[in-house]
Amino acid sequence: MDEVRKVDTGTRTVTRQVVVNAPAETLFAMLADPRRHGEVDGSGTVLSGVRGPVRLSDGAEFSTAMKMYGFPYRITSRVTAFEDGRLIEWRHPMGHHWRWTFDEHDGRTTVTETFDYNGSRSPKVLELLKMPALNAKGIRSTLAGLRDRFA
C-alpha cells in the first residue's frame, strides 16, 4: 500500500501526496461536489450543510458548515482554479488556498493536496496557532482515507 508522502512545494505551503487505486475522474468528482467534502475530509472540521452548486467550476462560491476546537462556524470559499478532472483550488475567506491535483497513470491516480497560506491575511497568526502542523495532520488523514477507501 502506498504511503502518504510529504512534498516540498516551497515556503508557507503544506503538501502531501498519495497514490489511490481509482481513476482521476472518480476522485475529482468527489471534490468537485462540495456536498461530498465532509465525506472526504480527514480532519473532522468539515460538516454538512453545504450551500452552493452541485458541481464546482472556476469562480464558483460555496458555503460550508465547519467546526474547530468545538466551535461551529460557516465559511464561504471561491474556486480560484479548475481544470476538469485534474485540478481544483479554492480560496478561504482569510486568503489561504486549498489545492487538489489528480494525475492518473494506468488506472491509479496520484492525488496531491496543498494548504497554501502565502496569500493569507495573517500568516504569522496561522503559524502561532500551529495551523500548518494541524493542517498537515488533517491532509495526511484525508489522503490516507482516500487511499484506504479504494484499496
Residue 1: the pLDDT is 74
Q: Tens digit of pLDDT for each residue in 99-148?
A: 999 999 999 999 999 999 999 999 999 999 999 999 999 999 999 999 99
With b for 16 or more beta-carbon neighbours within 10 A and e for fewer, the 60-72 pattern comes to bebebbbeeeeee
DSSP string across 47-98: -S--BS-SS--TT-EEEEEEEETTEEEEEEEEEEEEETTTEEEEE-TTS-EE
In CATH, which superfamily holds the domain spanning 5-149? Answer: START domain (3.30.530.20)
Whether 54 shows a pLDDT value over 90: the answer reads yes
Instruction: Tell me how many degrees the CA angle 132-72-143 measures, rounded to the nearest 5.
Output: 40
Whether 11 shows a pLDDT value over 90: the answer reads yes
Confidence tier at 35 by pLDDT (50, 70, 90): very high
Q: Tens digit of pLDDT for each residue in 83-98?
A: 999 999 999 999 999 9
Please check whether residue 7 is in contact with residue 112, taking contact to mean a CB–CB distance below 8 angstroms.
yes
Neighbour tally for 121: CB within 10 Å: 12
Cell numbers found for residue 79:
474556486
The amino acid that residue 146 corresponds to is L
Q: What are the boundaries of each domain within the chain? A: 5-149
Confidence tier at 14 by pLDDT (50, 70, 90): very high
Residue 22: the pLDDT is 98
Grid cell 504569522 is found at 124
pTM of the model: 0.96
